[in-house]
Structure 1
């Protein structure tokens, strides 16, 4: 049976996520604002959760209905046969997003949906599900847009960007999903050397290594929400896990490196590499930017220098950007470099002409990914 799904993604990365979903076998793929609609079967649902590198979560659409006000929302939710999705012994949570004129408070919207579900349970079983906002057995998502509601089940649970391999996190970590998306935007191929000279706790090199070794990011997670569902197909899931484990490659085709001036941060990156099972594949070194040398004649360099939002102040960072530009110009001929920045003034200090400027959001911060062809 084919279902309608919606993958939630970071703003601006919808086309990247859509391409990834198509590669994983999704059909009727349609990017929307901060998400992608697609169609597929249960195997695809499991596969996307296991393999997707650029998305946050996968919602399974249950119903879409008119929803001008709270009463209509309650009635429509009550009409659904919840017994097939949720039993009274299972825990429940409801997450609401969006809104309209009459439903303009997400907490109230979530409460209406919850009340309709547990009222039906009480009538049917004389008992009801408990609420567990931390780790529910079933997580219902209600999205209100204008006078319509899309009601979905969240198949992922905690966001897929929390891979589970990263106990050690630097001061301003890049989300794993954004790091994976930057690799896609940069069109980096595993046959090319990769370097992040300001790697922090190592997210970019680690995501590059997972891609290069064909390691499914979902393998590091304890559990997905769909594993607690009443219709969970354990045999199918075991088969997909086995397939994923067997498809891992034994070694990198080209070196993947990360460096940072801070010894403690490099030690965090190495801990994360260990958790990933790639400690013997990725090289992390404590290196001052001024001492950096190109590790090969050509390759792809991506970095996310601080931009004065959290780490360091913008004024003090000008020298860092100038040094980065000088090092790229003098020592990285033959390479393609990408610099992600949320500060236009600092970007000018790099002193190189960008061949492309790609708008990207890092969380709520509007950033630009600058591409430099170094000849």
Structure 2
């Protein structure tokens, strides 16, 4: 199969997690940059990446990388890209998104318009037609300028990959599924360890943890734009990826994954979403304030997205919430806590300085992923049979 360069965007600060996921799928990394990882793959890789990667927003098929400081230069260099390799005569194509950082060309609408004209001119010459019906498969094109270098790709995913299909009900300011997965994968948690989210909202952290525990591929129950690109990605690639995804699911596991919230509507949404994700049997959800967080066993994990005071709560209420979280955490035996928040007094109110923290951009909001590390559990030793 022909090799392509694929671009996987992610949250700034979480590139290493996505890189590890791609390597685990067996594909070669060609570049890691702020907010994206580029890798080499064939048509099967397009299907695999969309179905199995938990931490990327979408998969782009890279068509070119050009330097352009004028619109004439952008037109000519866009036109020089072999678009006929990707877009058939009946393909519906448009420049869906353009962004620009530290570049002379910065108007998204002008970039989109110039590039569309250039692609039309190229395909007119190649296909010897003057009008395109555009009633076939969709090919939304995305371009990103950084210091006058334009990276151009076609979106293979369509709807963002954070939309797994299970979150039918939500609450205000939910964390995205891709970000929740990435944060879980940043921790040493595994399916044999306890996980509690005391501010679970619509259940994203517990649901993503349960999907990781049961090895449920995030994209196995949804569709993708590139499924219609049969000239590029044979249907067999999708069948193979989805069959592998089904074979990997392990529902006969025991887990201790819990979610608490004080809002009954949030819990209603969480239960509905867990059922839709088919992991409701692996999660325990309960209405309970963070002050009542208890667990009898040691070495557990709190992984949570508490209120920031941006949209959900008055900032005046935050000190008490974080103080209660800190007190509950101190009463847990040998636990670790991982928490994403933009609240700048989080450590002060919790009453402990984090062992580590990592800056992560959640959309345009700068947040920190605070890591309060507990001791590692003792290694399990196998009992040797006496001779």
- TM norm structure 2: 0.90
Q: Please give the secondary structure, in 2, of the residue aligned with 1:361.
A: strand
Deviations 1:69-123 (A, max 9, x none): 1112212222334333223433222122225654220111011111112234445
* SS of equivalent to 1:235: helix
Question: Do 1:97 and 1:143's aligned partners in 2 also have CA atoms closer than 8 Å?
Answer: yes
The aligned residue for residue 349 of structure 1 is: 349
Q: CA deviation at 1:219?
A: 1.3
Q: Tell me the SS of whatever aligns to 1:125.
A: coil
Runs of 4+ in 1 over 4 A off after TM superposition: 99-102, 129-132
Q: Which residue of the partner structure matches residue 71 of structure 2?
A: 70
User: Compared with structure 1, are the counterparts of its residues 97 and 329 closer, same or farther at alpha carbon in structure 2 (3 Å cutoff)?
Assistant: same
Deviations along 1:167-207, whole A, 9 cap, x unmatched? Answer: 11111100111111111112211111111111000000000
Alignment partner, residue 214 of structure 1: 215
Offset, 1:131: 9.5
Checking the alignment, whether the CA contact within 8 Å between 2:299 and 2:334 is kept in structure 1 is yes
* Distance in 2 between residues matched to 1:218 and 1:310, nearest whole Å: 30
2: CA distance, partners of 1:62 / 1:288: 51
In structure 2, distance between residues paired with 1:353 and 1:65: 46
1:231 paired with 2:235, answer: no
Q: State how far apart, in whole Å, the 2-side matches of 1:188 and 1:194 are.
A: 8
Q: Structure 2: how far apart are the matches of 1:150 and 1:172?
A: 31
| Kept in 2: contact 1:99–1:106 (CA 8 A) | no
Rounded to whole Å, the distance in 1 between the matches of 2:101 and 2:268 is: 45
Cα distance change on mapping 1:75 and 1:154 into 2, 3 Å = same
> For 1:127-149, what per-residue CA distance to the aligned partner results, in whole angstroms no more than 9, with x for missing partners?
125499xxx71111222233332
Q: Structure 2 regions of 5+ residues with no counterpart?
A: 376-387
Give the 5 Å matches for 1:148-227. Answer: 148-221=149-222, 223-227=223-227
Q: Which has the larger displacement, 166-175 or 352-361?
A: 352-361
* 1:93/1:131 contact within 8 Å kept: no
2:336 is the counterpart of 1:336: yes
Which deviates more from structure 2 when the two are superposed, residues 118-127 or residues 43-52?
118-127
Contact map agreement 2:13 2:358 (CA 8 A) in 1: no
Q: Partner of 2:116 in structure 1?
A: 114
Moved more, 68-77 or 143-152: 143-152
Q: Is the 8 A contact 1:209 1:252 kept in 2?
A: no
Instruction: Tell me the distance in 1 between the aligned counterparts of 2:110 and 2:228.
Output: 26
Q: Give the SS at the match of 1:218.
A: coil
Q: Are residues 100 and 128 of structure 1, via their aligned partners in 2, closer, same or farther at CA, if it must alter by over 3 Å?
A: farther
Q: 1:127 & 1:57 partners in 2: Cα distance?
A: 30
Residue from 94, 98, 101 that aligns with 2:100:
98
Find the aligned partners of 1:127 and 1:102 in 2 and give their Cα distance. 32
The separation in 2 between residues aligned to 1:252 and 1:322, in whole angstroms, is: 35
CA deviation string 1:251-296 (max 9, x = no partner) = 3343111111111110100000011011122111111222221153
Q: By how many angstroms is 1:334 displaced?
A: 1.9
Please say if residues 138 and 228 of structure 1, whose CA atoms lie closer than 8 Å, have aligned partners that are also in contact: no
Greater shift, 184-193 or 92-101, is seen at: 92-101
1:46 Cα offset (Å) = 1.4
TM-score of the pair, normalised by structure 1: 0.93
Q: CA contact under 8 A between 1:13 and 1:34: conserved in structure 2?
A: yes
Check the 8 A contact 2:99/2:106 in 1, yes or no. Answer: no
The answer as to 2:86 corresponding to 1:85 is yes
Q: Tell me if structure 1 keeps the 8 A contact 2:201–2:261.
A: yes
Separation in 1, partners of 2:259, 2:9: 29
Flag structure 1 segments of 5+ consecutive residues without an equivalent: none
User: How far apart, in 1, do the equivalents of 2:210 and 2:5 lie?
Assistant: 32
Aligned match of 1:361? 361
Q: Which moved more, 1:266-275 or 1:225-234?
A: 225-234
